[in-house]
Amino acid sequence: MSVDRSFVTRSKEENWMPVLELAVEEVFEIMVGCRVKPVAQTEHPPNEEYTAMIGLAGALCGILTLSCNAQTARQIARSMLGGTDNADTEVADALGELCNMIAGNFKNKLAGTDERCMLSVPTVISGGEYSFHSLADGCSVATVLLFEDAPVAVRLQLQS
């Protein structure tokens, strides 16, 4: 499936930040039971001990990531699953599913994108000693939201 040029162009011409933020806010409110609000990244630099990622292929080609610290990841999993402590595998699974739903919700909000964009299965990496490098070198939309006073970073990086 080839990359649709019009969507790459659209990503540069339209302001997709509010769409991405709304997609994140809705998923957190419904699935985590918590309201999150965008904040300035300079005041709340995200800690990326956990990064969940979803690949996008088709009309939109790139990657969507969600990053947070380990304590926040555990709290998100606890809220999603109903207040119990969870194994590390469940924490990763919960974060991956959250990222999956954000990606799906985001593409569903972009007119004409939904039908022609596929999502990969989620991947989650954890630990302090890693660097994230995406080969998607086009437009990037990134936001930081506060979840219980801790920053959660969401980044959409598109291939040009």
Partner 1 sequence: MDKIRALIVDDSSVMRKIVERSLRQAGVELEKVVEASNGAEALVALQHNVVDLILCDINMPVMDGLEFVRQSATVENAKGVPIVMITTEGSESHVVQALSAGARGYIRKPFTPEQVKEHVVSVLGKKL
Q: Which is nearer to partner 1, 27 or 139 (CB)?
A: 27
With contacts defined by CB under 8 A, name the span among 111-119, 129-137, 141-149, 151-159 that binds partner 1: 111-119
Q: Are strands 140-147 and 150-158 parallel, antiparallel or unpaired?
A: antiparallel
Structure-token pair, residue 78: 């606890």
With contacts defined by CB under 8 A, name the span among 66-74, 108-116, 136-144, 149-157 that binds partner 1: 108-116
Q: Is residue 8 close enough to count as binding partner 1 by CB under 8 A?
A: no
7: left (phi over 0), alpha (psi -120 to 50) or beta: alpha
Instruction: Give, for 158, the enclosing helix (H) or strand (E).
Output: strand 150-158
Bridge partner list, 157? 63, 140
Token look-up 């001990």 returns 49
Q: Which of 115, 129, 131, 149 binds partner 1 (CB under 8 A)?
A: 115
**Binding residues for partner 1 (CB under 8 A):** 26-27, 30-31, 77, 80-82, 90, 93-94, 96-97, 100-101, 103-105, 108, 114-115, 119, 121
